[in-house]
Amino acid sequence: DAEITQSPRHKITETGRQVTLACHQTWNHNNMFWYRQDLGHGLRLIHYSYGVQDTNKGEVSDGYSVSRSNTEDLPLTLESAASSQTSVYFCASSDRGAYNEQFFGPGTRLTVL
Amino acid sequence: QKEVEQDPGPLSVPEGAIVSLNCTYSNSAFQYFMWYRQYSRKGPELLMYTYSSGNKEDGRFTAQVDKSSKYISLFIRDSQPSDSATYLCAMSAGSNTGKLIFGQGTTLQVKP
């Protein structure tokens, strides 16, 4: 069965460290998205990609970067982790088109001390 | 002002109650309206999807869209403890971007 996975599921890091969160999907979807979820804010879009070598900034992209070298993966990098980046991070993917369901991964809980 | 507003709750109801969850939005270009359900410590999953105005029913769930009022609703009939979750509304202008704008989510607890 096709799926979308994230790793690690939990991560504790220190302020200033670089952190990379992995996202891997086997749906063969063109579109991939990274969100963060915080109490009172719902899901906020960080970065997204419509295909290999394509990346775009979302609503809250400062301090984050992504790269898309193949269809299956969209790693999210925190350049220099800050306590404000403590959050739950979700990766999602969808097929091309005006509307297509986004399939979400299980999330990564990141704590920055 | 956020593009999509959703009362975060929490909302607590007894089993068997009718639940009404609502979102308002400001962007008149939105055409696709979705409800996602998120169980604790899980990723969101699509529950209902509606295009433009009108109602859509799926079992105990009814999604309603009123574009004139920029207001969408999700009704749950005969609510069950297994319906306890966070419900997120999401919307798209349908411009082939695939991007969704999410509400803050409403946490629902259904007590046995």
User: What's the pLDDT tens digit per position in A63-97?
Assistant: 999 999 999 999 999 999 999 999 999 999 998 76
Digit-coded pLDDT (tens) for A33-54: 999 999 878 899 999 999 999 9
CA contacts within 13 A on the Cβ side of B74: 29
Q: What is the pLDDT of residue A48?
A: 95
Length of chain B in terms of residues written: 112
> Chain B within 8 Å of A55 (Cβ-Cβ)?
no
Mean pLDDT of chain B: 92
Average pLDDT over residues A87-113: 90
Q: Provide the pLDDT for residue B9.
A: 79
Which residues of A fall within a CB distance of 8 Å from B34?
101
Q: Which two tokens stand for residue B16?
A: 């068997």
Under 8 Å CB-to-CB from B69, ≥6 apart: which residues?
Answer: none
In this predicted structure, what is the pLDDT of residue B95?
62
- Of the candidates A41, A100, A104, which has its C-beta nearest B44's C-beta? A104
Under 8 Å between Cβ of A103 and A89: no
Q: What is the SS3 assignment for B87?
A: strand
pLDDT score, position B97: 67
Q: What is the DSSP letter of A52?
A: T
Q: Is A70 on the interface with B (CB under 8 A)?
A: no
**How many angstroms separate the CA atoms of B99 and A45, rounded?**
9
Residue B42 tokens read as 């899980």
Greatest C-alpha distance within chain B: 43
Indicate yes or no: CB of B44 within 8 angstroms of CB of A31: no
